[in-house]
Chains A and B, each alone.
Chain A
């Protein structure tokens, strides 16, 4: 069965802390994505990766960085957390093939920055 896991379901951090959100997929997918979800705004793409060590900015990359050292793992890093980064973060993966019909999502991490 398809599986995308995220390291934490709930996380509370303080302003200025460095935060790591980890995502692991076991489907040998080439593409991996990080989205944030905010009420009234839907999901917005932060960063994505199409191969190991490759990354591309999404629509809202400011304040975030990513790391993909292994194919199955994609990390989202908040270098210095701020209160406006309080949100739900969703990781997803998909096959590279253009005909890939869906992304598979992890359960999400609800991050609260105090």
Chain B
């Protein structure tokens, strides 16, 4: 069974500062993928970044980077230069057994609410 844990129910950050959102995972699958999604108050889920378990380098997408530490089973999201529009709920998710019959199912963490202060 797969499990994703986000231990920070809420985080606050000053505008223009960097913030790290924590995510730890547990799986017995040798191949898996890790995702981060953003959910604004409007409700839609916005894909931010993806890290494959065999990727050699940490993923980056603009101001988002994923600090992937495989031995520690952590996949923290780093947002640099926070903006007011970054205020939202953030979900970490995992897709296991990428080459098998998982059909792309995702297991989600509990989410972290990020508030960016001006």
Contact = CB atoms under 8 A, between A and B. Distances in A.
Nearest to A101: B50
Interface stretch (A13-21, A37-45, A64-72, A76-84): A37-45
A50 B42 CA distance: 28
B110 A40 contact: yes
A31 B104 contact: yes
Contact of A110 (B43, B44, B99): B43
Majority-rule SS of B interface residues: loop
Contacts of B50: 101-102
A56 B111 contact: no
B47 interface: yes
B106 A45 contact: yes
A48 interface: yes
B104 A103 contact: yes
Contacts of A92: 45, 106
The contact size tier of chain A is 20 to 34
B35 interface: yes
Given A42-B109, A42-B111, A43-B108, A108 B44 contact: yes
Interface of B: 4, 6, 9, 33, 35, 37, 42-45, 47, 50, 91, 93, 98-100, 103-111
Given A42-B109, A102-B35, A104-B47, 19 more contacts: A9-B43, A42-B4, A42-B108, A43-B91, A43-B108, A48-B105, A90-B45, A94-B104, A96-B103, A98-B104, A102-B50, A105-B37, A105-B45, A106-B44, A107-B42, A108-B43, A108-B44, A108-B45, A110-B43
